[in-house]
Amino acid sequence: MNYVGAGTIEFVSDGKEFFFIEMNTRLQVEHPVTELITGVDLVEWQLRVAFGEELPLSQEQIKLNGHAVEARVYAENPNKNFMPSVGALRTWRMPDAVDGLRIDAGYGEGKAVSPNYDAMLAKVIAWAPTRDLAISRLNRGLEETDIRGVVTNIPFLSALITHPDVRANAIDTGFIERELGKLAPEPPMPSELELGAAVAAILDAEAEAAIGDLHSPWRSSGWTAVGARQRRFVFRQGAAEHALTLRYGREASTLCIDGREIGFSSAASSRGGIDLVLDGVKRHIAGLLDGREIYVRTQNGRFEMHWVDPFGTEDEEQAGADRVVAPLPGTVVALLVQEGAMVEKGAPILTVEVMKMEQTLRAPFAGTVMKLKCKVGDIVQEGVELAEIEPLKGTAKV
């Protein structure tokens, strides 16, 4: 048996040659959009054909109805060149498959995303009579999706499908590269709403943890041994810190943010998430606490903050920030500098292949490449230092 050309296989038997056309029989990831506008289950059809049955319909009998659009939810970070993200999925919340939505998911809460396979987590598909409505339904599905434990491309997907050029179908293959700064911008600073949502997420997590402890004082939000009770919270987003105080009251609590006192109350919602009342305005928000990392989703978008431990030094947050290390298990495919080279901050140092994607690691500061600790072809583990760079005199490691 020999391969003769693309799509053709040659068999030789008893001196005779037989040629067969090779066919790719796999279903592409986009098959749900075809199924939604035709009403045909392509997976079922493929299985029936494999068992020797005839196709139920001819091409002429298949009718197209409406519009469908699909988004592929990936464990990847658009702000870091779409670098794959691995880890355990601590939270998995997908919208109900109603009002034109379809959810195809291969993961769930508690499952682990491995570096050994493709990083796709799920597909969110929407059908509607019109293209604009299908896009709106898809965006609603994405906005109601919360996955924690890994970084996902959900905010990027939402920004992409709501972009005016995408809605107008006026894009080309260079669109994402040109608009990436707008599609994956730096996260905005949290407002009073997001800070209040962060506090609500902490209180919700504490209340849930206290359910099994009948003697926990946290079962009563106004509990205190003596005097008025208050708690101070400090949240960090990037280099910025936000401090606020929660003052408990018998009738209502108050948040003090930058000298402003705001009425505050929160409770778990019967429809999932948290009902937050801030300054007399009730809003439904999503708030999740994972260790000391907080994720909130409000009408302003998605926000991630770190809850600063008042009793910890937290120096470990900067570990690895000034080193060239493997972000995930992968293979070194290119060395882009030589030992002894002078490099500027951001200069490419080497390239690793991670989860079928090439990632270029760059100098965290200006300096001299003292040692390359790997060679092309090396299989490296996450966190392993791959290059040693000595900063220039007078240059801080930032």
Q: Considering just the CA atoms, what is the radius of gyration of the chain in Å? A: 27
> Which residues contact residue 372 at a Cβ distance below 8 angstroms, ignoring those fewer than 6 apart?
335, 337, 338, 339, 350, 386, 387
Three-class SS of residue 219?
helix
State the helix-helix crossing angle for 154-161 and 131-143, rounded to 10 degrees: 160
H helix intervals, 22-163: 31-38, 42-50, 131-143, 154-161
| Pair 248, 221: CB distance under 8 Å | yes
Q: How many helices (H) and strands (E) does the chain have?
A: 7, 28
DSSP tag of 259: T
Q: Which one from 26, 93, 148, 362 is the annotated catalytic residue?
A: 26
Written as six digits, the tokens of 224 are: 């205190």
Tell me whether residue 26 is one of the annotated catalytic residues.
yes
> Cα–Cα distance between 196 and 257 in angstroms, integer?
9
For residue 265, the 8-state DSSP code is E
Helix (H) / strand (E) element for 209: namely helix 192-210
Give me the active site residues, please.
26
